[in-house]
């Protein structure tokens, strides 16, 4: 028997007032699968990721069906699935983390919120993203950008969600730090069997962690398939432009 898809997105339209931002989106993420969403700025990548995490911004509405871990999200606030079903890592954890709370206290928050634990294995969470236990006493401003993204990843994985939604998690990091975070993400997902929905406009990032990809342009899916096939023979001009951009950044 097939297990329930982690995310089952059917014919979704996302609009702000009369403006359609995403249209006709269908996407099924199976257990443990790793999907990337790529496309140019304004294609609807982040909105799609937010919708799957049940975190659509105010003023936007979705129609169609978004089932995460079997629960319908369209028309709900999404709180039913966040934590154990789906968790989000945003682009810039400098704003996602509370500036005054120590790292240890903010890592304990999702555990308490979603599982009602009294004592939280903060040390274990930090160790799982290669950070030393002393960091639990530090505040976000003392951490580097790469350390902050690791903390955000640790927090997102704290409740062992079935799906991790990551919106440009390495966009604010320089290449060596980005590469290390992607390696860490790869190992964490493998260890926990968590599925991934990753938003990026960098095909290098996509190829490093994802197996399958949907290419969005103007709010619609223009191409999708296994990553190696799409990169080897891009069909749409947007995909070709993204492949060219990825090649530009590689020294010869």
Partner 1 sequence: MTATFALDGVARRYTVPGDRPWRRVPRTALDGVDLTVPAGRDLAIVGASGSGKSTLLRLLLALEAPDAGTVRFRGDVVTPRNPGALRRDVGVVAQDPGSSLDPRLPVGASIREPLECLAVPGDHGARVAELLDAVGLDPGVADRRPAGFSGGERQRIALARALAARPAVLVGDEPFSAVDPTTRGRLVTLVGDLARASGTQLLLVTHDLGIAQRLCADVAVLDAGRVVETGPVDAVFARPTADATRALLDAVLRVSVG
- Chain residues binding partner 1 by CB under 8 A are 40-41, 99-100, 137-139, 141-142, 144-146, 173-179, 182, 201-205, 207-208, 228, 231-233, 238, 241-252
Instruction: Kindly tell me which of 71 and 92 has the beta carbon lying closer to partner 1.
Output: 92
Run of H or E including 198:
strand 195-199
Question: Phi-psi region for residue 13, left (φ > 0), alpha (ψ -120 to 50) or beta?
Answer: beta
Cβ distance to partner 1 smaller for residue 1 or 250: 250
Question: Residue 72: which H helix or E strand, with range?
Answer: strand 71-72
121 vs 145, beta carbon nearer partner 1: 145
Whole-number minimum distance, CB 114 to partner 1, in Å?
Answer: 28
In degrees rounded to 5, what are phi and psi of residue 158? -55, -40
| In the complex, minimum distance from the CB of residue 57 to partner 1, in angstroms, rounded to a whole number | 19
Q: Which is nearer to partner 1, 6 or 178 (CB)?
A: 178
d(CA 215, CA 220): 8
Q: Is the Cα torsion angle 123, 179, 215, 94 positive or negative in sign?
A: positive
Closest distance to partner 1 from the beta carbon of 189 (Å): 17
- Of 159 and 172, which has the nearer Cβ to partner 1? 172
Minimum distance between the CB of residue 241 and partner 1, rounded to whole angstroms?
A: 4
- Tell me how far CA of residue 67 lies from CA of 6, 10, 64, 189, in angstroms: 8, 8, 10, 21
**Least Å from the CB of residue 139 to partner 1:** 6
Which has the closest alpha carbon to 136: 108, 94, 115?
Answer: 108
């Amino acid at each position: 028997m097939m297990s329930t898809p982690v995310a089952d997105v059917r014919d979704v339209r996302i609009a702000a007032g009369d403006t359609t931002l995403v249209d006709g989106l269908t996407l099924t993420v199976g257990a443990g699968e790793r999907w990337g969403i790529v496309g140019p700025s304004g294609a609807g990548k982040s909105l799609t990721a937010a919708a799957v995490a049940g975190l659509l911004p105010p003023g936007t509405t979705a129609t169609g069906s978004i089932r995460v871990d079997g629960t319908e999200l369209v028309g709900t606030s999404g709180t039913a699935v966040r934590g154990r079903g789906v968790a989000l890592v945003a682009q810039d954890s400098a704003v996602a983390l509370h500036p005054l709370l120590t790292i240890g206290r903010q890592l304990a928050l999702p555990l308490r919120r979603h599982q009602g634990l009294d004592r939280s294995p903060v040390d274990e969470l930090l160790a799982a993203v290669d950070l030393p236990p002393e960091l639990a006493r530090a505040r976000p401003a003392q951490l580097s950008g790469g350390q902050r993204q690791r903390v955000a990843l640790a927090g997102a994985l704290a409740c062992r969600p079935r799906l991790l939604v990551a919106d440009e998690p390495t966009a604010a990091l320089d290449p060596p730090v980005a590469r290390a975070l992607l390696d860490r993400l790869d190992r964490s997902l493998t260890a926990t069997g968590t599925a991934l929905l990753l938003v990026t406009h960098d095909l290098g990032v996509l190829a490093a962690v994802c197996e399958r990809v949907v290419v969005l342009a103007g709010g619609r899916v223009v191409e999708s398939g296994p990553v190696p096939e799409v990169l080897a023979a891009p069909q749409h001009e947007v995909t070709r432009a993204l492949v060219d951009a990825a090649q530009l950044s590689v020294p010869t």
